Chain A
């Protein structure tokens, strides 16, 4: 993957302001490549990192990262062979059982993920799933509430990367477990909305093993000149398809061996 930046600093700031406006005021915008067809993935990350710089300057705290587009089917659909990553801040976190407002979201969707909490720093390139497991403090179940700021959830890789991988909210919960006590490849997951099963799968749907997604995330970070710090909370990507939610919906994700994560959505 090339991290080449082709846009000028001025264009990057301009696109960042456009994404930031859409995220902050919750409205949909056309994908960025409509105006900048030559935009690269490197340009997308430059916009994302500028967005992070602005958030952190305003006092947001980064708590970790997320991997996205981690299923083979999704990558094939997007014509890419790497997942995308996005940063997570304390402002995106919601507690388990929370009432989550959709007023400040565009078209939220929920998906079930295995999350990792790191005890050691990890540096790429060449990070492997084995290294990820060795550096993991514990794993826990999580629900990510993604929200593309692009009209109709339609985007390409440079645009979605600039939009911070559609990151919006996340809820960690359930039961913390040592990774070595589980087979992280075969964990079954059931997503229920208002008491009805709406999506199902097993954790191998994420690149064959969720730790593989974390390894790829660390290797992407290396290309951006960063490492994954100890203490990071990292989401490994959706096991299930993403399901649209609206005010009044109640969601529970049930994980084999990891318990459940629940939340409800309000105006």
Chain B
């Protein structure tokens, strides 16, 4: 795709995000979009948000489980950028009015104490470079109508990122089995579903290593202090006004989040 097309679709996604509405799947409009094109569209969308005053605070990794990869017909994860406007603190109530068609995912987040420069990064480097891990919720959202996404659509749409909340309990990955740590998700006081770290690329550290290597090839920096959401360990949970979710990572701790208001769809 030429630069004009890239800008067009990046701007269309930015406008849809700002106006809380959806657009038709990009692949319906432009059947030949490649994955590389999709990342360029994502970059344009994020540049628009940065130009409007946000800063880049981290990355999210998506499409990390085998069922989702099978569904989208891909063999690797994808990634999006986390911006300052996406951050909620634990205890905040998430205003669904700022979102379009949100769903929650329970994850493990990494915070780096050293830069990770790929290619050549292994899971062992990830543990070494990690300051701490925390349980977190990512609230994914799609600017694409009815979540009718293929891999190019979700990549262009910043990996369907909405907002996120980090828990307050920090863990050291040298003292915690992040691969076998259980994930228990409760919705409104009832057990919703369970999972385990291994659901993410065999281990969340593998997903972060993948990201470091992918960013390295694209020349995108991956810096100390950045937050990395490593990928969903739970089922996707649609949320409405009044819902409360708690995720607990075995051996680590919990993250609790409440929702109010109405999303656009």
Contact = CB atoms under 8 A, between A and B. Distances in A.
A246 interface: no
Interface residues on A, range: 20 to 34
A188 B180 contact: yes
B194 interface: yes
A60 interface: no
B251 A257 contact: yes
Contacts of A256: 177, 180-182, 196, 250-251
B181 to A, nearest CB: 5
Contacts of B248: 185-186
Given A183-B251, A256-B177, A188 B202 contact: no
Interface size range of chain B in the complex: 20 to 34
Given A254-B180, A256-B180, A188 B191 contact: no
A124 interface: no
A202 B194 contact: yes
A204 B195 CA distance: 10
A92 interface: no
Interface centre among B180, B181, B183, B248 (most CB of A within 10 A): B180
B198 A187 contact: no
B180 A186 contact: no
B202 A186 contact: no
A257 B182 CA distance: 10
A255 interface: yes
A239 B196 CA distance: 11
Contacts of A136: none
B199 A200 contact: yes
B159 interface: no
Interface in A187-244: 187-190, 197, 200-205, 208, 239
Given A197-B198, A201-B196, A256-B250, A189 B191 contact: no
A203 B251 CA distance: 13
Nearest to A200: B196
Interface string B99-114: 0000000000000000
Given A190-B179, A204-B194, A254-B198, 20 more contacts: A185-B248, A186-B182, A186-B183, A186-B248, A186-B249, A188-B177, A188-B180, A188-B198, A189-B182, A189-B196, A197-B66, A197-B202, A200-B198, A200-B199, A202-B182, A202-B194, A204-B191, A255-B180, A256-B180, A256-B182
18 contacts: A183-B251, A188-B177, A188-B183, A188-B197, A189-B180, A190-B196, A190-B198, A200-B196, A201-B182, A204-B182, A205-B194, A239-B194, A254-B180, A256-B177, A256-B180, A256-B182, A256-B250, A257-B250
Interface of B: 66, 177, 179-184, 191, 194-199, 202, 248-251
